[in-house]
Structure 1
């Protein structure tokens, strides 16, 4: 009543940015005041450059138009111009410039902005439900990011442990294979083998290696220790870092000097008093006194390695004073940088087999170990991440369920919007944006939760750390967006396909 239906119809046309407005009996069943108000609105639309066509039986209303076309029995019987068109300065009819069209990119941005605003209002109206909906996404994203970070941290720690073997290194051990029970009694690996390998063109450095487990004593302090007898090239081959003092040299090895290089752990254990300088101190290893000449950075022991304190001394000293045997336990070979370690391993195998007349040794390639562990950790990382992604899928299904419920609850709202001109695409866009927003905010909170977990995890001395990467974080955002689109499509499509008449009747 009172022209409200006409005004709603005009508003609907304007929401669709209509360039052509067709008004069929716009003043029907209206009082004169309301009728004039509706006609005034139509005049304003015409002044904006829109084409207004009025269908009427009232000649007084038709007289307001600049052109009157009279139709009878489906035939045009007259077509005349009136004098109601605005006249220009010279008396000619003035053409009104059309209003700028809000289509294209600008129109798309306007519609998207409106859909975004409606989605935010809907989320604010049901804050608890929105939070519970995104909870599955939060847990899923946090799980995936944390698992990937833990896998990266584990891989990094293991590779650091392997680095104690050195890079591009081969270790030749006595025995036919790993775990050979006869290896401890075999004496075929000798210093001459190391000297012969050092003369090969593909070798950068060689060091014989022997070891003995002893009790280290300094004053009233004692601890279990492993004395590694090595050559002067051992420190270069393994990349050991000197913190203070010096490494022993070839002359020290030849003279069987009673000197030792300790690591940080040994220094902290045997010399807890920071005022005591370990350099020059005499430490008793078993019954053999050795003078400390250097302190090196602690190297992580390889997988399954000993947890004893580590001391390095000339191998000649360890052989003669601690072991009483001239045989070697292993030979460490550093391969030249321009030589492939796989080819070098084959060459060493052939060389040592010819030299011994049989293959009474086995070789551990540090690069092979590195590649194997890297491959294994990556596989485990993918497996665990795949399991964590299941929680994301469950969270996505939760989003879809809640959005479907939301559509059924907001049928009347959808009907009103479509009745006043909202397109199917506008309705679909609104619900898609709402689903994507829920998942994006959930993804952001999930990443924040994972980072917080990383901070808490670092407070505990676990030996491992969480290594977060930009790639995993960006992938998490993209994944949460994709979940919003995929699982929000069905509710959005259902909402857009509602019949406005049915929707309004249900509302």
Structure 2
């Protein structure tokens, strides 16, 4: 009689009892595997564990799906929030870029948020002319802004009116779609002419109509349409915003009745740095005004500020959304613990016939990772579907997905599966086969 004791997949005792015992144990010993078959055996064990995990998931499909649901919601939330932050940042930076390259904006007051800036009336068209004459300035334009109601035929709409010089279109890099921009003669002659954007054209004129030469009534001032700016060729802001540009002289005298301007935009030559240009502009205006009653900002500063702000907001919201991932991971761990309890006898049988503790650990870890990976894939699909839906709905913003965020979502799903599945898998691997069989 021969007694062989196997523990954790290895023979730990091989003894003979009674007269039938073999004199030479080597004659009946189990064959040892060769070294060359080690990798093959590892692959076989992994494949078997993978198949068993799939069978276990298929046997409890509803429970598996409900377990995935937390991962689906968490991954979809995080991926969508990151994509929303990326899309918002790109849209804002695109709008800032449309304001022109190498530009400096000059405003009255001591800075952003100055409650008394509306009372400062020292910026004048003469300041713009003086700045335009500087060797480091490519072009400069004064600006005044107001809102009003535009009327054409039986159609009316609220529009944003901007009084500018002929240099404005060069400063901001606007492209002409139809007609022409107004020139110095229109500014100097206080002419009642207007350049409209593509949104205004679509609002007041049919696609087949020629708007050039048509008359719009802005408040009580009739103006003749000279040109149409190409769509998205520099109109920052909401896509539904209607914008029109008049000579600043016309806007100041016929619509606002004022002699000062709201801002001056300076386009700096490429040969000089923005910092040096700001210092020179500051000295010039301080001499003209007798004090520093203005402040300046440039696109680089605004861009940097917006990138920092959107980055912080995206990180904060992503952290909140990541809580859903943690909750989903806890749900996975809970269900896996229940599964270990339900399958205690199965684990005992496997260990009794030679399964190693590492095989049991591997089986339950694979099952946990599979649940999380499938949940992650479905979560990414939900996020992509949400982005496509927003794109079709044309809500004014879009979700911008990146390969890095999707790969990070897959990695996060795998880590959640390993992290939250390890405790149940370890508990299953540490079960005593004898106790497991009698439960």
TM-score, length-scaled by structure 1: 0.75
1:333 and 1:217 map into 2 onto residues whose CA distance is 33
**What whole-Å deviation, never above 9, does each CA across 1:374-405 have from its counterpart, x for those lacking one?**
22222111111111111111111111111112
Partner SS state of residue 334, structure 1:
strand
Distance 1:222 1:500, change over 3 A: closer
State whether residues 167 and 367 of structure 1, in contact with CA within 8 Å, keep that contact through their aligned partners in structure 2: no
Counterpart position of 2:49: 115
In the TM superposition, 1:130-149 aligns within 5 A as: 130-149=64-83
How big is the shift at 1:436?
A: 0.5
Q: 2:303 aligns with which of 366, 370, 373?
A: 370
Q: 1:417 aligns with which of 311, 325, 350?
A: 350
**What whole-Å deviation, never above 9, does each CA across 1:258-277 have from its counterpart, x for those lacking one?**
43211112212222x33321
Let me know the Cα RMSD of the aligned residues: 3.5
Partner SS state of residue 182, structure 2:
coil
Partner SS state of residue 123, structure 1:
helix
**What whole-Å deviation, never above 9, does each CA across 1:10-40 have from its counterpart, x for those lacking one?**
9x79x9699x996747995xxxxxxxxxxxx
Distance 1:457 1:27, change over 3 A: farther
Distance 1:501 1:222, change over 3 A: closer
How big is the shift at 1:443?
A: 0.7
Are 2:123 and 1:157 equivalent residues in the alignment?
Answer: no
Distance 1:351 1:386, change over 3 A: same
2:146 and 2:344 map into 1 onto residues whose CA distance is 82
Distance 1:236 1:26, change over 3 A: farther
Distance 1:105 1:243, change over 3 A: farther
Q: 1:245 aligns with which of 163, 175, 179?
A: 179
Counterpart position of 1:196: 130
How big is the shift at 1:495?
A: 1.4
How big is the shift at 1:345?
A: 2.9
Are 2:409 and 1:476 equivalent residues in the alignment?
Answer: yes
Are 2:202 and 1:236 equivalent residues in the alignment?
Answer: no
2:48 and 2:236 map into 1 onto residues whose CA distance is 62
Distance 1:22 1:402, change over 3 A: same
1:26 and 1:257 map into 2 onto residues whose CA distance is 122
Are 2:292 and 1:359 equivalent residues in the alignment?
Answer: yes
Which sections of structure 2, spanning at least 5 residues, go unmatched? Answer: none
Q: 1:291 aligns with which of 209, 224, 242?
A: 224
1:371 and 1:484 map into 2 onto residues whose CA distance is 38
How big is the shift at 1:449?
A: 1.6
In the TM superposition, 1:37-116 aligns within 5 A as: 56=22, 101-116=35-50
Partner SS state of residue 260, structure 2:
coil
1:27 and 1:154 map into 2 onto residues whose CA distance is 85
Distance 1:252 1:411, change over 3 A: same
Are 2:379 and 1:446 equivalent residues in the alignment?
Answer: yes
1:191 and 1:180 map into 2 onto residues whose CA distance is 22
Number of residue equivalences: 435
Distance 1:123 1:219, change over 3 A: closer
How big is the shift at 1:116?
A: 1.0
How big is the shift at 1:152?
A: 2.1
2:241 and 2:315 map into 1 onto residues whose CA distance is 35
Partner SS state of residue 261, structure 1:
strand
Counterpart position of 2:100: 166
1:109 and 1:501 map into 2 onto residues whose CA distance is 28
2:146 and 2:246 map into 1 onto residues whose CA distance is 11
Distance 1:102 1:395, change over 3 A: farther
**What whole-Å deviation, never above 9, does each CA across 1:157-204 have from its counterpart, x for those lacking one?**
333443453343222123344465665565432233222222334433
State whether residues 232 and 314 of structure 1, in contact with CA within 8 Å, keep that contact through their aligned partners in structure 2: yes
State whether residues 17 and 102 of structure 1, in contact with CA within 8 Å, keep that contact through their aligned partners in structure 2: no
Distance 1:439 1:102, change over 3 A: farther
TM-score, length-scaled by structure 2: 0.86
Counterpart position of 1:225: 159
Distance 1:372 1:65, change over 3 A: closer
Which sections of structure 1, spanning at least 5 residues, go unmatched? Answer: 29-54, 67-97
Q: Which moved more, 1:416-425 or 1:338-347?
A: 338-347
Counterpart position of 1:175: 109
2:148 and 2:109 map into 1 onto residues whose CA distance is 24
**Higher RCO (CA 8 Å, separation ≥ 6 residues):** 2
2:19 and 2:85 map into 1 onto residues whose CA distance is 74
**What whole-Å deviation, never above 9, does each CA across 1:293-351 have from its counterpart, x for those lacking one?**
21113555559x9x873211233343454445543222101233454434533432233
Point out the structure with max Rg over C-alpha. Answer: 1
Counterpart position of 1:93: none
Counterpart position of 1:209: 143
1:408 and 1:170 map into 2 onto residues whose CA distance is 69
Counterpart position of 1:348: 281
